[in-house]
Amino acid sequence: MKLPRISLEQWAAFKAVVDEGSFANAAEALNKSQSSISYAIARLNELLPTPVLELSGRKAVLTHEGTVMYRRATQLLAQAEAAEQTAHLLARGIESEVVIAVDGLLEPGQLIPVLDRFSLMYPMTRLRLLETQLSGTTEALLEKKADIVLGSQVPVGHLGTPLKSIRMVAVAHPDHPLCQTGTDAGINDWELRTWRQVVLRDSGTRREQDAGWLGSEQRWTVSHFSTTLKVLRAGLGFAFVPYDWVAQDILQGSLKIVPLSFGAERQLPIYMLMATSDSCGPATSALATLLTEHFAGQTD
């Protein structure tokens, strides 16, 4: 590996001269002598193919190349500072990364305010979000692929914190025959069976899991609710989907709730589960607290 010839101290001196407007002010800002700043800039100009600063009277002026290198120097110094901050966080036991698995039942846009607050509290901690379906969500917990899991099932031996309830509704395009019934009795099971149903594929790798009503003879299987919505908007079938995923479509009239007999629909709880609740780090604990606060009162 070839080591850089220019030190961080020289880049810092260069940036300080530009930011502070003079060698004297830069020396004061960095708590160094003016002669050391002058020497650092002189060496910088020697080591680079073209000078980055030129003297105009008593003032140091950026060259064209210096303007470009100033941006690079700023990024380099910021990365060096970030590396030091990360080292300090790790020394204090703060995780470098938190992984959260979110079942597809939960519309991910609802998490944005939580993730925004978390990023302000722990800006140096990376966040990785796994989008899972059915047994894939449980698998992420049991195999410790995630630190926090948001799902509808609590496996044996684990505790779950209720966050909210998901309303599952049957939905189709307004022009679909299922939405054209003129009776007050609603659509029953036998009528549903004759129409194409769009269902969600299990993302688990250990065992496939079925959930919900799967009575249609003709089924299309997709991997994500976003694909389900595209099929439904094209009028190619019906599906049972979380209301949060289709609320805007229903409001705009691009999709319609299928009138099932007796107003039938399902309610599914969403729980927060911790992979290691007794030994999780401060960033993971903070994110769990933010999630609990954000969804407080949404379980009814």
DSSP characters over 128-193: EEEEE-THHHHHHHHTT--SEEEES---TT---EEEEEEEEEEEE-TTSGGG----SS-B-HHHHH
Rg of the chain (C-alpha set) = 29
**Structure tokens belonging to residue 68:** 């470009």
DSSP code of residue 130: E
Summarize pLDDT for 262-283 with one digit per residue, the tens: 666 788 899 999 987 666 788 9
Summarize pLDDT for 165-180 with one digit per residue, the tens: 999 899 999 999 888 8
Q: Is the confidence at residue 259, as pLDDT, over 80?
A: yes
Res 209: pLDDT: 47
Mean pLDDT taken over the chain: 84
Distance CA(105)–CA(151), nearest Å, equals 8
Greatest mean pLDDT range, 180-194, 203-217, 227-241:
227-241
**Is-contact 165 232, C-beta < 8 A?**
no
pTM of the model: 0.66
Greatest mean pLDDT range, 52-56, 198-202, 214-218, 280-284:
280-284
